[in-house]
């Protein structure tokens, strides 16, 4: 390996670290079956281009190609249906339906919070966290964000409102910039692009 000045060495390590972080985020997303994996894979591949001569490039590129191929299947990482987690019990399904219904009814409320949800469902915050994580794989905060973003996407696709601000307020975001940033992170495009 050629000698690099400290600054260049640090910069190259920093770039490499970003590539690996993106790759591990992508692998995690695949493991948990999260949507939007294709965008992460493209981002990881784009970052890898500058490391084409690196010995790790081939390995990382193969991992990305395998993830792309497996992402075409209906199950996370191509795990056969028999090894998927067992179906929810009727009680768990009823609880989750009641939880989702409450969230949908109060989604536009900016005071909707984890402590409020825990109180509403007569459980501690930690119990709510464990229950929702067990049933959905998401924390209550992430679940709430996903529901808000999903509703926002539907409103934008149906052109229910004329401005991004109206959609943001409808799904419980008071700050349009925060809403736009979170929406872009989740769907890969700004909400304003969906209104055009």
| 48, part of any domain | yes
* Per-residue pLDDT at 63: 63
Q: How far is CA 34 from CA 13, 100, 184, in A?
A: 29, 18, 15
187 & 126 share domain: yes
* Per-residue pLDDT at 78: 40
97 & 147 share domain: yes
96 & 191 share domain: yes
| Full domain range(s) for residue 43 | 6-78
| 136, part of any domain | yes
Residue where a domain stops, chosen among 78, 111, 133: 78
61 & 107 share domain: no
| 1, part of any domain | no
Residue where a domain stops, chosen among 25, 48, 78: 78
The total of structural domains in the chain comes to 2
CB atoms within 10 A of CB 62: 10
* Per-residue pLDDT at 24: 56
* Consecutive 10-residue averages of pLDDT for the chain (196 residues): 48 54 55 53 59 57 62 43 60 92 88 90 93 90 91 91 92 92 92 86
* Per-residue pLDDT at 155: 93
Q: How far is CA 42 from CA 45, 62, 121, in A?
A: 5, 14, 41
70 & 107 share domain: no
Residue ranges of E strands in 20-179:
none
> In this structure, are residues 78 and 70 in contact, taking their beta carbons and an 8 Å threshold?
yes
* Per-residue pLDDT at 88: 77
Q: What is the C-alpha to C-alpha distance for residues 9 and 17, in angstroms, rounded to an integer?
A: 12
In which element (H, E) is residue 104 found? helix 90-106
156 & 59 share domain: no
Query: Which domain CATH number covers 177?
Result: 1.10.10.60
Helix axes 125-136, 140-157, angle to 10 degrees: 60
């Amino acid at each position: 390996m050629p000698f690099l000045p400290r600054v260049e060495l640090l910069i190259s390590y920093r770039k490499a670290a970003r590539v690996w972080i993106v790759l591990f985020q992508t692998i995690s997303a695949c493991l948990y079956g999260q949507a939007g994996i294709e965008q992460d894979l493209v981002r990881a591949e784009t970052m890898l281009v500058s490391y084409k001569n690196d010995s790790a490039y081939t390995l990382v590129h193969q991992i990305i190609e395998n993830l792309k191929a497996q992402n075409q299947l209906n199950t996370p990482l191509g795990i056969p249906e028999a090894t998927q987690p067992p179906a929810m019990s009727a009680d768990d399904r009823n609880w989750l339906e009641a939880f989702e219904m409450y969230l949908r009814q109060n989604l536009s409320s900016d005071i909707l919070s984890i402590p409020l949800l825990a109180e509403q469902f007569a459980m501690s915050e930690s119990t709510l966290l464990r229950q929702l994580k067990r049933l959905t794989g998401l924390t209550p905060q992430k679940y709430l964000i996903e529901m808000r973003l999903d509703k926002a996407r539907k409103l934008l696709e149906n052109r229910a409102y004329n401005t991004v601000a109206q959609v943001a307020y409808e799904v419980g975001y008071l700050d349009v910039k925060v809403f736009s940033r979170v929406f872009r992170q989740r769907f890969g495009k700004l909400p304003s692009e969906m209104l055009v």
